[in-house]
Structure 1
Amino acid sequence: MDQKQVLNVGLVGFGFAARVFHCPLITNCSGLNLSAVLERNASASQSVYPSVQIVRTIDELVGIPSLDLIVITSVNSTHFEYAKTALMAGKHCVVEKPFTITSKEAEELSEIAKQKNLILSCYQNRRFDGDFLTIKQIIEGNMLGKIVELESRFDRYRIEPKPSASPNKYAWRENADEPGGGILFDLGPHLIDQVICLFGKPESVTAHIEKQRPIEHSSDDSFTLTLHYPKINFNAVCRASMVTKIKPPRFTIFGLHGTFIKNGLDVQESQLIDGKTPKSTGFGIDSNENWGQIDTTMYNGENGIHFLGKIETIKGNYSAYYENVRDAILGKSQLLITSEQAALTIKIIEKAFESSEKKITVMI
Structure 2
Amino acid sequence: MDTVPSPIRVAVLGVGFSANVFQIPFILALPELFKLHSILERRATAEKSVAREKYGHTGVQVVTTFEEVTGDPDVDLVVVSVKDPAHYEYSKAALLADKHVILEKPVTATSAEMRDLIRIAKERKLVLAPYHNRRFDGDFRTVRTLIESGKLTDLVDFESRFDLRADWPMGEPGGAAGIVYGLGTHIIDQVVCLFGAPKTVTALLDNGRGEGHPDVDDSFTIHLRYEHTPVLVTLRSALHSVASRQVRFIVRGKETSYFKFGLDVQGGQPQIMFKGMAPLDPGFGEETEDMWGEYGKRENGQTTFEKYVMLQSTIGSYTDYYRNVAAAINGVGTLEVTPEDAELGLRIVEAAKQSAKEGKTVTFA
The alignment's TM-score, normalised by the length of structure 1, stands at: 0.91
Find the counterpart in structure 2 of residue 37 from structure 1. Answer: 39
Distance 1:177-1:54 versus aligned 2 partners, 3 A rule? farther
Distance 1:156-1:63 versus aligned 2 partners, 3 A rule? same
For 1:24-75, what per-residue CA distance to the aligned partner results, in whole angstroms no more than 9, with x for missing partners?
A: 0011113100111111113311111112222222222111101110000011
Q: Percent identity among equivalent residues?
A: 38
Find the counterpart in structure 1 of residue 185 from structure 2. Answer: 189
Find the counterpart in structure 1 of residue 279 from structure 2. Answer: 278
RMSD: 1.8
Q: Distance in 1 between matches of 2:10 and 2:226?
A: 39
Find the counterpart in structure 2 of residue 226 from structure 1. Answer: 223
**Is 1:13–2:41 an aligned residue pair?**
no
1:204 to 175, 200, 203: 200
Q: Distance in 2 between matches of 1:361 and 1:178?
A: 22
Code of the residue aligned with 1:79 in structure 2: it is: H
Q: Distance in 1 between matches of 2:42 and 2:175?
A: 20
Code of the residue aligned with 1:291 in structure 2: it is: W
Distance 1:53-1:233 versus aligned 2 partners, 3 A rule? same
Give the 5 Å matches for 1:16-27: 16-27=17-28
Shift of residue 84, structure 1, vs aligned partner: 0.3
- Is this contact kept in 2: 1:144–1:297, CA < 8 A? no
- Is this contact kept in 2: 1:59–1:85, CA < 8 A? no
Code of the residue aligned with 1:347 in structure 2: it is: R
The alignment's TM-score, normalised by the length of structure 2, stands at: 0.91
Shift of residue 220, structure 1, vs aligned partner: 1.3
Code of the residue aligned with 1:225 in structure 2: it is: I
Code of the residue aligned with 1:294 in structure 2: it is: Y
1:52 to 34, 50, 60: 60
Code of the residue aligned with 1:121 in structure 2: it is: A
Code of the residue aligned with 1:283 in structure 2: it is: F
Structure 2 gap segments, 5+ residues each: none
Which secondary structure state, in structure 2, belongs to the residue aligned with residue 90 of structure 1?
coil
For 1:116-164, what per-residue CA distance to the aligned partner results, in whole angstroms no more than 9, with x for missing partners?
A: 1110011011111111011111111221321111000010113xx34xx
Find the counterpart in structure 2 of residue 295 from structure 1. Answer: 296
Q: Distance in 2 between matches of 1:339 and 1:85?
A: 17
Find the counterpart in structure 1 of residue 334 from structure 2. Answer: 334
Code of the residue aligned with 1:105 in structure 2: it is: E
Which secondary structure state, in structure 1, belongs to the residue aligned with residue 68 of structure 2?
helix
For 1:232-256, what per-residue CA distance to the aligned partner results, in whole angstroms no more than 9, with x for missing partners?
A: 1122111000111114420000101
Find the counterpart in structure 2 of residue 256 from structure 1. Answer: 254
Give the 5 Å matches for 1:62-211: 62-158=70-166, 161-162=167-168, 170=169, 174-177=170-173, 179-211=175-207
Find the counterpart in structure 1 of residue 209 from structure 2. Answer: 213
Q: Distance in 2 between matches of 1:315 and 1:186?
A: 24
Count of residues in correspondence between the two structures: 348
Structure 1 gap segments, 5+ residues each: 163-169
- Is this contact kept in 1: 2:164–2:241, CA < 8 A? yes
